[in-house]
Amino acid sequence: MASPSALEAALRAAVRGEVAADPLTLGVYATDASLYQITPRAVVCPLDEADLVAAVRTCGALGVPILPRAGGTSLGGSAVGAACVIDVSRHMHALIEVDEAGGWARVQLGLVRDNLNALLAPRRLMFAPDPATGNRAGVGGMIGNNSSGMRSLRYGLTLHHTRAVKIALADGRVTWLGTADRDDALAAELRARVMEVVDRVRPQIAARYPKILRRVQGYNLDALTGETPNLAHLIVGSEGSLATVLEAEVGVVPLPAATALAVAHFADLETALRTVQRVVPEGPSAVEIVDQTTLDLARANPATEDLCDWLVGSPAAVLGIEFCADTADEAAARAAEVGAALLASGAAYAVSQLPDAPGQQRFWAVRKAGLGVMTTMRGERKPMPGIEDCAVPLDVLPEFIEAVLAICARHDTRPTLYAHAGVGLIHVRPILSMKDPADIARLKAIADETFALVISLGGSISGEHGDGLARSAYLEQFFGPELMAAFAQVKAIFDPRGLMNPGKIVAGPPIDENLRLGPPYRAEVRDGWYRWSREEHLDRAIELCNGVGACRSTLAGAMCPTYRATRDESLSTRARANALRLANSGHFESIGDLALAPVLDTCLACKACRTECPSNVDLARLKAEALAA
């Protein structure tokens, strides 16, 4: 493998876009929105497709691992690794073509989902998968992750909306993958070899893949067992471990004519969970749950407190039940009918009807901010990912949640719960501290027990967030040795030298390795010049950012102006917070180290992050602390 200096020199000679290998930039790209931190070998921001292929070819020739990255919002650790990170989000975000009659669009992979839909809106079309990070998640990351979001009841997963992908293999060869009628020689060769593997394990595919909608773990071999297999569907959900996607043809659908939302309030969690089975047959487009802990944090958060006017009392949980219809009156009537039935039965003690768009947007804003809001929980323990992506059949959802609550209680903690109740996927996040070795052991023990439970219930350990570093190590337990051998064979067909995003899906590390805040992490405890009473200490204020990347939105809001102007990750609030955390934990001399100047000097101290970041990162105050250090 090439030395760092040789790699940087080779990339600079081959690529016209930005190339970086300095400690600060590498540190900024060492994390995503997961628990993990791994320093990359270099970072490239290609200008266009030719640049991207040149970067891939250069890394392939030097034997350097390759990690394609868009928004960097992975919750499973898919977007970090000891590789050359190729960030497509800065320059490669074009909508290339729209075929309204055919119902598809051709896009570059750095195009953000909500930005794509803003471009499609004048045509009354949209790209339907809608993850909570849709205002900063690139289409490329959604394809790599097989994202879905809140309305998968109606629209399914990204796989269901992917027609074809243009890929580059690690050796730089390029081809389109889709149905067989568009195969060139390379695609035909890949198809033939992959289908040989699929044909050998068809019985295992039928037996071991769960029969639920929300399943994204492993490679999508089950999607290739039909009469007209689309090889693009193998790339969907592969987390960049097979090839680098250059462009994609994605399906677009008509915007819903009208929507209405009923928010049902429950005095206990069990009743809310059992109500899900009752309302799903009514045909809602979404059924989302938010628990009391998350709601309480949202009410106290400057970014969301003004959005909670639909809340009545202090519910143990709420269900947001959305209906689509041809007219506003029809949608409102369906929401009202369900709400009235829940009140009449005594299941819900209150139902807020939100027939208008502004009211609905306030609910969805709180729901989408849930992950960031949780970071503001006082103390070292925070709601942690790991088991947060489990999905089970709807008829066993109450049983599953009851069992997981008991598992957490046995390990001296409790979780927060929110998300996609209507499809059996609730993000359960145990409240733990990754600075505490005992809690790290609890994380692994809870994961071991929970994943065994999921398997016994016919569920999925990865419902939408992917396997990444968090769950890849559990795939053999889930799929068995024969399917894991098939996964390894498929990876070898596309990536014989194992250069594409290593450690994801095939040969994944244990869940408790490479932790961002785990040993040997040690922060310098500082009182600071300001009073940090809400955060308790300056070091905790520095650690507030969880990487979810709300500061990377370029649509509504003001945060973060320097990122909006440049699309440069290092000029985002997330990057600045990461840099300060690295400095405060020994990667630089101190938070006042001049090495941080490239990211801190450009902060405008506008304080947009203080009120728009769901984690309440206040970069203006943190910058002042750094300047005074």
**DSSP of 249-304:** EEE-EEPPSEEEEEEEEESSHHHHHHHHHHHGGG--SEEEEEEHHHHHHHHT-TTT
In the block, tokens 């609905």 appear at 360
| Confidence check: pLDDT of 23 > 80 | yes
- The closest alpha carbon to 412, from 442, 447, 453, belongs to 442
| Confidence check: pLDDT of 231 > 90 | yes
| Confidence check: pLDDT of 55 > 80 | yes
> Which tens digits make up the pLDDT trace of 132-153?
999 999 999 999 999 999 999 9
Q: Cis before residue 520, ω within 30 degrees of 0?
A: yes
Mean pLDDT, rounded, for 59-72: 98
| Confidence check: pLDDT of 580 > 80 | yes
Alpha carbon distance 71, 79 (integer Å)? 9
Give phi and psi for 391, each to the nearest 5: -130, 145
> Which tens digits make up the pLDDT trace of 263-303?
999 999 999 999 999 999 999 999 999 999 999 999 998 88
Classify burial at 204, counting beta carbons within 10 Å of its beta carbon; exposed 0-12, middle 13-18, buried 19 or more: middle
Q: What is the DSSP letter of 523?
A: P
Q: How confident is the model at residue 226 (pLDDT cuts 50, 70, 90)?
A: very high
| Confidence check: pLDDT of 629 > 90 | no
**In contact, 298 and 281? CB cutoff 8 Å:** no
> Which tens digits make up the pLDDT trace of 430-477?
999 999 999 999 999 999 999 999 999 999 999 999 999 999 999 999
Alpha carbon distance 310, 293 (integer Å)? 16
**In contact, 44 and 17? CB cutoff 8 Å:** yes
Mean pLDDT, rounded, for 471-500: 98
Per-residue model confidence (pLDDT) at position 37: 98
Provide the phi-psi class of 26: left if phi over 0, else alpha when psi is between -120 and 50, else beta: alpha
Write down the number of H helices and E strands in the chain. Answer: 25, 18
Helix (H) / strand (E) containing 69: strand 66-69
Per-residue model confidence (pLDDT) at position 290: 96
* Domains along the sequence of the chain with CATH: 4-87 (3.30.43.10), 95-254 (3.30.465.10), 258-374 (3.30.70.2190), 382-465 (3.30.70.2740), 538-628 (1.10.1060.10)
Classify burial at 412, counting beta carbons within 10 Å of its beta carbon; exposed 0-12, middle 13-18, buried 19 or more: exposed
> Which tens digits make up the pLDDT trace of 536-551?
789 989 999 999 999 9
Mean pLDDT, rounded, for 240-245: 98
> Token pair of 310, please?
């639909």
Alpha carbon distance 215, 262 (integer Å)? 27
Classify burial at 58, counting beta carbons within 10 Å of its beta carbon; exposed 0-12, middle 13-18, buried 19 or more: buried
| Confidence check: pLDDT of 589 > 80 | yes
Helix (H) / strand (E) containing 420: strand 415-420
Give phi and psi for 334, each to the nearest 5: -65, -40
User: How crowded is residue 82: how many other Cβ atoms within 10 Å of its Cβ?
Assistant: 15
In the block, tokens 């999925």 appear at 460
> Which tens digits make up the pLDDT trace of 408-439?
999 999 999 998 999 999 999 999 999 999 99
Per-residue model confidence (pLDDT) at position 348: 98
| 265 contacts: CB under 8 Å, gap ≥ 6 | 311, 312, 313, 315, 318, 348, 349, 350, 351, 352
**In contact, 623 and 580? CB cutoff 8 Å:** no
The separation between the first and the last C-alpha atoms of the chain, rounded to the nearest angstrom, is 40
Indicate the pTM of the whole model. Answer: 0.95
Per-residue model confidence (pLDDT) at position 350: 98
Q: How confident is the model at residue 45 (pLDDT cuts 50, 70, 90)?
A: very high
Specify the higher pLDDT residue, 225 or 592: 225
Q: Which alpha helices (H) appear in 99-182, and where do they start and end?
A: 113-120, 139-145, 152-155
Q: How confident is the model at residue 525 (pLDDT cuts 50, 70, 90)?
A: confident
**In contact, 527 and 490? CB cutoff 8 Å:** no
User: How crowded is residue 432: how many other Cβ atoms within 10 Å of its Cβ?
Assistant: 26
Laid out side by side, the sheet with 162-168 consists of: 95-99, 104-108, 244-251, 162-168, 174-177
Alpha carbon distance 380, 296 (integer Å)? 18
> Which tens digits make up the pLDDT trace of 365-394?
999 888 888 888 988 999 999 999 999 999
DSSP 439-499: HHHHHHHHHHHHHHHHHHTT-BS-SSS--HHHHGGGHHHHH-HHHHHHHHHHHHHH-TT--
> Which tens digits make up the pLDDT trace of 614-626?
888 999 999 999 9
Average pLDDT over the chain, rounded to an integer: 96
Four-point Cα dihedral 369, 296, 573, 539, nearest 10: -150
Per-residue model confidence (pLDDT) at position 530: 86
Q: How far is CA 139 from CA 110, 149, 370, 517, in A?
A: 6, 13, 22, 29
Give phi and psi for 445, each to the nearest 5: -65, -40
Alpha carbon distance 39, 346 (integer Å)? 54
Alpha carbon distance 154, 49 (integer Å)? 34
| Confidence check: pLDDT of 531 > 90 | no
In this structure, of 201-210, 292-301, 498-507, the range with the lowest mean pLDDT score is: 292-301
In the block, tokens 């900063």 appear at 136
Mean pLDDT, rounded, for 602-610: 94
Specify the higher pLDDT residue, 264 or 587: 264
**In contact, 428 and 388? CB cutoff 8 Å:** yes
Mean pLDDT, rounded, for 487-508: 98
Instruction: Give 605-608's long-range contacts (Cβ < 8 A, gap of 24+).
Output: 606/558, 606/561, 608/557, 608/558, 608/559, 608/560, 608/561
Per-residue model confidence (pLDDT) at position 523: 87
Residues comprising the chain, all counted: 629
Per-residue model confidence (pLDDT) at position 532: 86
Per-residue model confidence (pLDDT) at position 524: 83
Helix, strand and coil content of the chain, in percent to the nearest 5, comes to 45, 15, 40
Per-residue model confidence (pLDDT) at position 464: 94
User: How crowded is residue 106: how many other Cβ atoms within 10 Å of its Cβ?
Assistant: 17
Q: Is 185 helix (H, G, I), strand (E, B) or coil?
A: helix
Per-residue model confidence (pLDDT) at position 592: 86
Cα three-residue angle 373-379-383, rounded to 5 degrees = 45
> Token pair of 498, please?
């194992």
Give phi and psi for 302, each to the nearest 5: -60, -30
User: How crowded is residue 210: how many other Cβ atoms within 10 Å of its Cβ?
Assistant: 21
Specify the higher pLDDT residue, 563 or 523: 563
